Amino acid sequence: MGVKLLRKVMYIWKVSPLIQELKSEGISQKEQLKYFLTLSILMLLATDPYLNSGFEYVAYDSINTVVVTVITILGILYCYKVNEEADGKDFILRFMTLGLPTTVRFLVVVVLVTFIYYSFIDSSDSVVMTTQPIDVLFIASFEVGYYFYLSRKFSQFAKP
């Protein structure tokens, strides 16, 4: 009973038992998803502008952090669901490997759109950049698009 309970707990601090479980392939796809999701959330929270000195932190930064965190959680879970429906194999491997070219493609689009927006549309004379509602909407829409596009790639693993 105690061993079964331990297996349901994620290793947060100890690495050696986790390595042993990985070696013995004792971690299911669903358990791997928990590690991946937790790491993704921690990385998102670590990028919160409040933690960066030199920026003016406004309420929209907090809103953006919450929105991005929720979209990330739902996006990863949606991709997992699509992968499970396709063939249920190698979710983390596929997410990480497919995520690289997908991210590069989206970064090119984001950089271009951001350049156009700030060069031609945004005419504010503000010296201090602060997050605005349009920024939250912009980031959220690109992130939703990212996970939707990535999930379509997972669906291609379904047997014809």
Closest CA to 49 of 151, 150, 136: 136
Q: How confident is the model over 54-95, as pLDDT tens digits?
A: 567 888 988 998 999 899 999 999 999 999 999 998 898 889
User: Is 96's pLDDT higher than 60?
Assistant: yes
Could you tell me how many residues make up the chain? Answer: 160
CB distance 155 to 82 below 8 Å = yes
- Residue 121 is given by DSSP the state I
Q: How confident is the model over 113-135, as pLDDT tens digits?
A: 888 877 876 555 555 677 889 88
Predicted pLDDT of residue 55: 66
